[in-house]
Every structure is written in structure tokens, then in C-alpha cells.
Amino acid sequence: MRILITGVTGFAGSHMLDYILSLGEDHQIFGVKRWHLSRMDHIRHQLDHITMVDCDLTDPVGVRHLIDQVRPDVLFHFAAESFIAPSWKHPIRYMQVNYNATVHLLDAIHHFKLPTIVHIPASGDEYGEVHAEELPIRPETMLRPLNPYAVSKIAQNLIGYVYYKSYGLHVIRTRVFNHEGPRREKVFGLPWYAYQIARIEAGLQEPLLKVGNIDTRRNFTHIQDIVRAYWLAVQKCKSEEVYLIGSEDEDSIHTFREALEMLIALSTAGGIHYEIDPIYVRPTNTPLLIADTSQFTQMTGWKPRIPFSQILVDILAYWRGRVSMQLD
């Protein structure tokens, strides 16, 4: 197959590349980068196994050239503005990247009449303000987004459905809940804690962690389990449905406070404590994101394999390495 991965230089995209290559199958893989603007460290070890194509996905002309050049059998669309906090100050940017770029890709595939299977990974954050009596979240649970990022992902998800219903495009839509692991940037909760712990261990800061809201509750899944789920999704899922993906194991459901204290317990440094800093507290916060993923698991047979404890070990090891190489 000819496989195109947007956002291949980022967190999920780079792990998707690793997973596909680990299968040992004869696929031709293409990735999108923005000239010299994309950081390449996540995929540097795989550059001999992928063809990189320069394209700004917010430019419809460039996207049409991209799709004409690659003519993918499968498109994994990971390119996104995914850090929630800036979305309040840059809501237009989030729509430009998350919604407009998706329209450009879908419209180019429609223009060339390609039978491409398009995977659009959306976010559990789209559900927003979920009431306790509505848990666990199901695909039909009401969407009450609490930030512009979530709104942009809802729009992205729905335009995928429109192109399926209107033009018959093979669009697979998933909503994935908190997925963590190496390469996730320190603007997110667990990597931010691990980064600070690594700096404390290296003697670069005092044993005090600055954190935001830490009492929200999530189900956490390792990124390597998630990309395996994405691969199964494009093979077995249907365009008319939206599928929820995430671990339902009780051991994987924690508050950020619990995860923070577990990370501190893994540290080689003593006396680490933490405090909430208002600068890291969002204007609104999604308190509960616990999903019922039975529809997806029944369709694909997928089950997460990596325990939550390993997620924490892997994140801390990654940030120890980044700090030691002064790449923070």
C-alpha cells in the first residue's frame, strides 16, 4: 500500500510510522513536513524508510499537489494543533489547521476520485462537560466542548462524515482518550511533570513542581497501544460510525494528581513536592473523560497491552534523556 501520514514528525504520527514499519510488510510510506520548520528528531531513525513531502496543509493548492503526487491508499491524518491551552487565544489558527486542512485533504481526494481510506483521529475532549451520571462516555453522549480546540476537532470529525455521506469517501473517524508515552511534548500534563522531575534529578531546578489543575480524572493508554488500534481501525471499522478508543482497565483510570504522585515516587531525587500555579490553570477544564470503548473492541478485537505503570516509566525515561542531551 501507499500510506500517507500527516503529522508524521509529531507524537502520534512518529509512533504510527514506527508501528507500520515494525510489521515488516511491503508498504510505501510518505510523510508530510513543512520544509525546514518541522522538527525531525522523532523520525530521524526512520528517514531511510519514508519519503518526505513538503506541504503546508492550510494551503489548498499545495494539498492538491500533495494528494496528486502520493495518491495514497491509506491516509493517517495526525497533523493538528493539539495543545489545548493556546486555543483560547488563537481560535482561528486551530480552525485553520484542524478543520480547514482536513477539508483540503478530503476535497483533493474527492477531486481525484481516489479510493483512499482516510483515518481522522478526533479527541475525547470533544465531549467536554460530561455529567457523572453520563459515564462512561459513549459515541452518542452529548458534545459540550469547553475549549476552542475541542470545537475544531468536532468540526473536523463532522466534515469527515459529510464527505462520506455526500461523496462516498472512505472516512474512518475515531475519538481517542488520553494517550501518553515518549515524544509527547512537555506542554501536556504527564510530560510536564516528568520534565520537571528530570530537571530536579539533574540539579537544574529546586525540588518543587509547578502544576495546573490536577484533579481531573482520565483513562490513560500507551501511545503504542493506540497506534496499533489506529491500524486496526482502517482495516475493520465503518465510515458511518465514530469509534471511541482507550483503556477501560481500572488500573488505567487515574486523576492527574495520582499520576503525578506516582511519577514522584519513581524519582531518584528526594523531597519533591508540588504546588498549583495559576499560570497553568485553564479557563475551563474537562473534569471527567472515561469512555466505553466496547464498540471498537468488538469490531476490531483490540485490547491495550501496556500497563499504566509502564506509561509512567517510559515518559520519565524519555525526559531524562531529553534533559541529559539538553534538548529541553
The DSSP line for 244-310 is EE----GGGEEEHHHHHHHHHHH-SSSS-EEEE-GGG--SS---EE-B--HHHHHHH-----S-HHH
> What pLDDT shows up at residue 286?
77
Assess whether 96 and 237 both reside in one domain: yes
* Residues 40 and 188 placed together within one structural domain of the fold: no
3-state secondary structure of 89: coil
pLDDT, position 98:
98
pLDDT of residue 327: 55
Rounded CA separation 120/89 (Å) = 25
Same domain as 103, residue 122: yes
Q: Are residues 115 and 146 in the same domain?
A: yes
How far is C-alpha 257 from the geometric centre of its chain's CA atoms? 21
Neighbour count for residue 66 (Cβ, 10 Å): 23
- Based on the fold, state whether residues 161 and 283 are members of the same structural domain: no
**Are residues 175 and 255 both part of a single domain?**
no
Closest by CA to 281, choosing from 217, 204, 189, 207, is: 189
The reply to whether 38 and 70 lie within a common domain is: yes
Give me 233's grid cell: 481501525
Q: Could you tell me if 141 and 264 lie in one domain? A: no
Residue 205 maps to which CATH number?
A: 3.90.25.10
pLDDT number for residue 288: 72
List alpha helices for 71-180, DSSP H.
91-94, 101-111, 148-167
Range of the domain at 284: 184-218+250-290+306-324
CA-CA distance, 33 to 28, in Å (whole number)?
17
Query: Tell me, what DSSP letter sits at residue 140?
Result: T
Say yes or no: 139 and 207 in one domain: no
**Can you tell me which residue has the cell 464527505?**
163
270 lies in some domain:
yes
Tally of domains within the chain:
2
Say what the pTM is.
0.96
Per-residue pLDDT of the chain (328 residues; tens, 9 = 90+): 999 999 999 999 999 999 999 999 999 999 999 999 999 999 999 999 999 999 999 999 999 999 999 999 999 999 999 999 999 999 999 999 999 999 999 999 999 999 999 999 999 999 999 998 998 999 999 999 999 999 999 999 999 999 999 999 999 999 999 999 999 999 999 999 999 999 999 999 999 999 999 999 899 999 999 999 999 999 999 999 999 999 988 899 999 999 999 999 999 999 999 999 999 988 887 777 788 999 999 999 999 999 999 999 999 999 999 999 975 5
